A = this chain, B = another copy of it.
Amino acid sequence: METRIDRIKKQLHAASYKLTPQREATVRILLDHEEDHLSAEDVYLLVKDIAPEIGLATVYRTLELLTELKIVDKINFGDGVSRYDLRQEGAAHFHHHLVCLECGAVDEIQEDLLEDVEADVEKRWNFQIKDHRLTFHGICWRCNDLGADKPEKDA
């Protein structure tokens, strides 16, 4: 079976870039932390464990390259740091986020949800949508004491 890394390697080659050891190490870290929303600094510290000779600037350049190729998404929750997420394979659009104002947790919504809204906007504002960013700020299920359990698995 073709691994995720192999497919990323092909994507790089298709754009005539190489999967250098530094880039591979960076991608591996991203794969190992798919659930998190790592900052460039976070990635750097983690990559150093498996490739100690790497430089911070290289991590930045790699993340920028992966963003250009739509392999990762660069997100900004307004806290002054850019965060990087592996994009779901085959996803046309950026996924959404739920940011908890209490505990700071960031959960993801993989579903689109915006199909109707987008059609409406394209028509009425004559705007050709290429991508979107949607973030909800509020209180997550963990902080909402009302005896609720984790809901995403039920959805």
Contacts and interface: CB of A to CB of B under 8 A. Distances in A.
Interface in A77-91: 78, 82
A137 B126 contact: no
Interface string A119-151: 011001111111111111111110010001001
Copies in the complex: 2
Nearest to A96: B121
Nearest to A137: B131
A129 B125 contact: no
A134 B93 CA distance: 13
A116 B138 CA distance: 17
A126 B141 contact: yes
Contact of A117 (B78, B114, B138): B114
Contact of A136 (B98, B101, B129): B129
Nearest to A122: B138
Interface size grouping (class) on chain A: 35 or more
A57 interface: no
Contacts of A107: 125, 127
A148 to B, nearest CB: 5
Contacts of A114: 117
Interface of A: 74, 76, 78, 82, 98, 101, 107, 109, 113-114, 116-118, 120-121, 124-141, 144, 148, 151-152, 154-155
